[in-house]
Structure 1
Amino acid sequence: MTDEISRARHVVDEVGSWAESEAMAALLELAEHRCAGHDTPWLHLNEQLPDWLVDLLAETGQASSDPAVRVLTRVIAIEQKAARSFHFRSRDGSTYRERSEAVEADFDDATRALIVEHTTTLGLVEPTRPRHDSYDMTLVLGGGFRSPLLRTRYAALLEQGGTELGEVYLLGSPRFLITNEPAEQPVTSEYAPEASDEFDLMTAAATLEFGLTPRPTAFLCGCASASQLCPRWQHDDDAGAADVPPEYTHERSNTLVASDGRTRGSVISASTSRPPYRPDTSDTFALWVRHAHPTTGQRVLVVTTQVFVPFQRFDGLRRLFLPHGLDIDAVGFGDDWGDRPLTAEYLLQETLSAIRSARRLLVDAVAVLLHQH
């Protein structure tokens, strides 16, 4: 058995255990009875299933004899249900909005309490700490408002508490600061007054929380500025490419230097693989691999907000563990830090994000097991 096949089987087991748990079943049943639902495509934005999977599902449906395929088909069915009931980032179920622009549902108090209970079991609520005392590399994930500052602070506190972080990377993006209400600038100006995008927020957070000094921004794509589409961007023929902001097509890095002059890590900003939308966590993980050159078996700590831990762990398994054999550990701080609202709507929305990430991970794992690469 090859290492990648072994990792693929591990992935199938982990995702199956999480997605097919009693808590997930209870959450789906609860939401289906209390949400109006949306008659929109269940796949996210301009996503498509690979042709081999479409053909396989048409041939086998739920009747496949392969256990990995059965798990994948069940998770797809879960995603289809969750897409109807867990989506709160728009009123019509399809318009793209950032998380801070989510809408509210008409839940009673008892329903809200049950949603918190079930999502706690699924790992979205209670904070987690590292499994190991030392890591080769630590990835602080980007976000908006105060998330970059708080996640970087959590990583710094872990280090102060004795966890060896290794090289520290802050993963940002060229996403512009939100100007619609609630606007970001009144919040981010407290720690990053000159910021115009998420990359700037992460750079400011590294300076404040770790005392690191950023060197001048380097364009990893080789361009001189972000004012024009990057000629090396690989998605210029994709649907939506004509509407993508030029800034979303470039890759950037700020090297971070400690007070003793040694390089401690860097802030990086990925280009998007899903035009015209901003880059996502998966895009940034892919850039980080090319930038940091990690090796099989290295321990990587991912730091985020707890509500995103399942979703971003699955993304890490897909981008870092499955193809590269990195030992991924994702941790987050709880709602007492005031980063994200602990509302029923938010918890359901991020459960949907985790389900979608789990399905993408399973697609890649099943492709390995069926020798589709």
Structure 2
Amino acid sequence: MTDDEMNPRVSKAGADRAHHAFDLVDEWLFGAAMTALLSLSGEEMPAAGEALPLSRADMPLFNEDLPSWVHRVLAEPGTGLAGVSPHHLDVLRGTLAVERIAATEFNFRAREGGEYVERSQAAIAAYDTAKSGRIVEAGDQLGLVTPRPPRFTQYAETLVLGGGYMRPLLRARHALKLRDDGINLGRLSFLGSARQLISEPAERPVAEDYAPGAVDEFDLLIGAARTTFAVHATPLRFLCGCTSARGECPRWRSRTGPYDGQVRPEYTHERHVELVDAEGLPLGSVLSASTGRPPHRPNTADTLALWAESGTPYPGQRVLVVTSQYFVPFQTFDCLRLLYLPYGVDVDVVGFDDQLPDRAELPGYLLMETLSAIRSARRLLVDAVAALSRAVTDEPCHPPAGPPPAAPRGYLHRPEPAHTRGGSDDGGR
């Protein structure tokens, strides 16, 4: 989000949600668990209130830029923004400081300036038994290990997030298990993209049994839905208005803004199929998003944004999101930024242990996904600051009807009570 793109559709309820976003990040990021992870790499939790001048050289961001106001606020702790408390700006400074450390210590997808790769291609570091145990323990306290049940028994919609290899099928099966256990899933949406199946390690042979002939993640999700819920898919429809994915979508170009590089044409289109049961009754849909970070493939945020644009999200709407457990924190912060902050959707992100083939890689994988969560939390805070700053200067265009929804709780499971910043055992931040 740039300085000129702060969402004008702000209301008191929207400001309340922004305040709550800060509370959630503050609680999750600055406690004993994150302090322990940093200490394992010889790092300390940054001191509160310190100046934090940043450049792309000392904190590489993956294909994104921070708004210019962020650099001003970080470099000068006394700098203020209308509508944003000094505490909130301090939380943002701290988040960027932790991200800078984690981007060096936990980034296994682009080591030493190498090309950014898919998770299955990452060079996961190995650790000795003692250190591995401490990483897993801290990761569990941060919500990456132990699954928790849904908060409610009834939802308006359930979103099954995409992935590679067997993950779409496993997530679909977990959604079915939840339904069999008595959870009303509401309408189902499988969210993915045109990410092409990779050849090393080979993805297609693993998925052939449930998605024969699949060429991308969208195909995997259709196959997973068909196999698990005994449905069939209606003919493909391009939401972007195109008739094929062979050329770049003109609508994508107009929405993305200036971009002079090359991007795979299929990454610029939005696709959709309806899922219907044997009696022709609708069960849900499968969506394929275009990319918001060219030239790279679409990501979770792109798929969530497409779901919101394709439907009618509303304050208090209960939406269940099904993913793998070690993705729960980062995808929770994505959901908060894209669904809760602007629309007031009450999102409940649940995961399960999808059993990594090599459990020896689990500690490194948890660190890698901790970095993903930190970055997602920082994006949430940047948007929350923008909403708060805008809220004191603009009248809302379309304030939501009725009272603001209650602030959602229980996003990130911890087996032990969390320690918030400023307590006696928070690592001294």
What band does the TM-score fall into relative to the shorter chain? over 0.9
Distance in 1, matches of 2:358 and 2:211, equals: 16
> CA offsets, 1:143-194, max 9 Å, x none?
0000100001100110011000000000011000001x21101101121111
Distance in 1, matches of 2:257 and 2:309, equals: 23
State whether residues 231 and 277 of structure 2, in contact with CA within 8 Å, keep that contact through their aligned partners in structure 1.
Answer: yes
Corresponding residue for residue 17 of structure 1: 27
Distance in 2, matches of 1:251 and 1:150, equals: 24
Residue 5 of structure 1 pairs with residue 45 of structure 2: no
State whether residues 250 and 270 of structure 1, in contact with CA within 8 Å, keep that contact through their aligned partners in structure 2.
Answer: yes
Q: CA deviation at 1:235?
A: 5.8
Matches for 1:197-208 after TM superposition, within 5 Å: 197-208=216-227
Matches for 1:1-373 after TM superposition, within 5 Å: 2-32=12-42, 41-60=58-77, 66-179=86-199, 181-233=200-252, 234=254, 238-239=258-259, 242-336=261-355, 343-371=362-390
State whether residues 256 and 292 of structure 2, in contact with CA within 8 Å, keep that contact through their aligned partners in structure 1.
Answer: no
**DSSP-derived class of the 2:147 partner:** coil
User: Structure 2 vs 1, CA of residues 80 and 100 (structure 1 numbering), >3 Å: closer, same or farther?
Assistant: same
Corresponding residue for residue 36 of structure 1: none
- Of stretches 90-99 and 118-127 in structure 1, the one that deviates more from structure 2 is 90-99
Q: CA deviation at 1:307?
A: 0.3
**DSSP-derived class of the 1:222 partner:** coil
State whether residues 335 and 342 of structure 1, in contact with CA within 8 Å, keep that contact through their aligned partners in structure 2.
Answer: no
Distance in 2, matches of 1:78 and 1:62, equals: 20
Q: CA deviation at 1:86?
A: 0.5
Q: How many residues align?
A: 366
Q: CA deviation at 1:263?
A: 1.3
**DSSP-derived class of the 1:117 partner:** helix
**DSSP-derived class of the 1:254 partner:** strand
Q: CA deviation at 1:339?
A: 9.9
Q: CA deviation at 1:31?
A: 2.3
Distance in 1, matches of 2:205 and 2:337, equals: 36
State whether residues 229 and 246 of structure 1, in contact with CA within 8 Å, keep that contact through their aligned partners in structure 2.
Answer: yes
State whether residues 221 and 232 of structure 1, in contact with CA within 8 Å, keep that contact through their aligned partners in structure 2.
Answer: yes
TM-score between the two structures when normalised by the length of structure 1 = 0.93
Q: CA deviation at 1:340?
A: 8.4
Q: CA deviation at 1:258?
A: 1.8
User: Structure 2 vs 1, CA of residues 126 and 317 (structure 1 numbering), >3 Å: closer, same or farther?
Assistant: same
State whether residues 125 and 335 of structure 1, in contact with CA within 8 Å, keep that contact through their aligned partners in structure 2.
Answer: no
**DSSP-derived class of the 2:261 partner:** helix
Distance in 2, matches of 1:230 and 1:96, equals: 25
Distance in 2, matches of 1:63 and 1:30, equals: 34
**DSSP-derived class of the 2:73 partner:** helix
Letter in 1 for 2:61: H
**DSSP-derived class of the 1:105 partner:** coil
State whether residues 191 and 204 of structure 1, in contact with CA within 8 Å, keep that contact through their aligned partners in structure 2.
Answer: yes
> CA offsets, 1:283-308, max 9 Å, x none?
11111011122222110000000000
**DSSP-derived class of the 2:323 partner:** strand
Runs of 4+ with deviation above 4 angstroms: 61-65, 235-239, 335-342
**More relative contact order, 1 or 2 (CA 8 Å, 6+ apart):** 2
Distance in 1, matches of 2:15 and 2:284, equals: 32
**DSSP-derived class of the 2:177 partner:** helix
> CA offsets, 1:333-356, max 9 Å, x none?
014486987521111000000000
Distance in 2, matches of 1:172 and 1:250, equals: 12
Q: CA deviation at 1:42?
A: 2.6
Q: CA deviation at 1:105?
A: 2.2
Q: Which runs of 5+ in 2 are unaligned?
A: 1-10, 44-55, 395-429
Distance in 1, matches of 2:118 and 2:212, equals: 21
Letter in 2 for 1:246: P
Letter in 1 for 2:73: L
Distance in 2, matches of 1:339 and 1:172, equals: 25
Q: CA deviation at 1:92?
A: 1.4
Distance in 2, matches of 1:68 and 1:187, equals: 46
State whether residues 126 and 360 of structure 2, in contact with CA within 8 Å, keep that contact through their aligned partners in structure 1.
Answer: no
Computed over aligned residues only, the root mean square deviation of the Cα atoms, in angstroms, reads 2.1
Distance in 2, matches of 1:61 and 1:308, equals: 35
**DSSP-derived class of the 1:343 partner:** helix
**DSSP-derived class of the 2:22 partner:** helix
Distance in 2, matches of 1:92 and 1:63, equals: 36
Corresponding residue for residue 401 of structure 2: none
